[in-house]
Amino acid sequence: MNRRNFLRGSAALALATVSAAALSGCGGSGSSKGRAISKTYTYNEAFFLDGVAWYANCNTMLVINTDETYDLYYKKDLFGTTDPGNKGNKTIIYSGTYTSAASADGETSHLDFTLAAPTRIYMEQHDKGFGRNAIGGNVLLDTANWTDAMTQVVFPAGSSDGAKDFLAKYAKEMTLTVEDPSLYPEDTALSYRIVTLPGFDLEITGNEE
């Protein structure tokens, strides 16, 4: 799979910001009382899918809240070239608590955020681009509002507690390094961005070992 730069993240990130505000008051990590967005850090990447002549645009956004909780967004959009138009959209939101410290890389403008294993995972995907995944088709999963139908999608062989088993499989502690201009205001070229992502894929397909 060849990779090409393709900037198309602004709309997706704006949508994620709105979603963060919405989730903060409806069962996200921590109490909604006094909870507000403190800072956001982003990372964008795009791929060209040779086999189908589609682009995959992937956006990751770390939202730090004032109550020491986080929401980590992974947004993937698929769209065609020879057959233009939307081919698939996926949103995954990991929510939990965090700690931060000066980065181990020694850069003055960097912070390391240690994100505790999420206590809530929200995932929604739709359109044909995700039809072949093990967790395929139009799917909504939310460990804070789990249903028997969700268990059937994720664990067709059965589960006594689908939400708990889903978290056990996909909720992992993560460390992200970010660049924060407020730590080094003398350098006006800095931005609020993610420098290094976790050492594993944030996307959930159901095919993971």
Closest CA to 29 of 188, 205, 179, 171: 171
Quote the pLDDT of residue 32.
53
Tokens representing 157 are 């062989």
Quote the pLDDT of residue 52.
84
In this model, does residue 188 exceed pLDDT 90? yes
Mean pLDDT of 145-174: 97
Mean pLDDT of 55-80: 96
**What sign does the CA torsion over 154, 207, 196, 78 have?**
negative
Confidence tier at 209 by pLDDT (50, 70, 90): low
3-58 pLDDT per residue, tens: 343 334 444 444 444 455 445 444 444 445 678 999 999 999 999 988 888 999 99
In this model, does residue 190 exceed pLDDT 90? yes
pTM for the model: 0.84
Residue 138, Cβ neighbours under 10 Å: how many?
11
Residue 47, Cβ neighbours under 10 Å: how many?
17
* Residue 62 to residue 197: CA distance in whole angstroms: 10
Confidence tier at 71 by pLDDT (50, 70, 90): very high
| Main-chain phi, psi angles of 149, to 5 degrees | -65, -35
Quote the pLDDT of residue 6.
37
Quote the pLDDT of residue 133.
84
101-159 pLDDT per residue, tens: 999 999 999 999 999 999 999 999 999 899 888 999 999 999 999 999 999 999 999 99
β partners of residue 142: 122
Tokens representing 15 are 């949508």
In this model, does residue 79 exceed pLDDT 60? yes
Quote the pLDDT of residue 19.
52
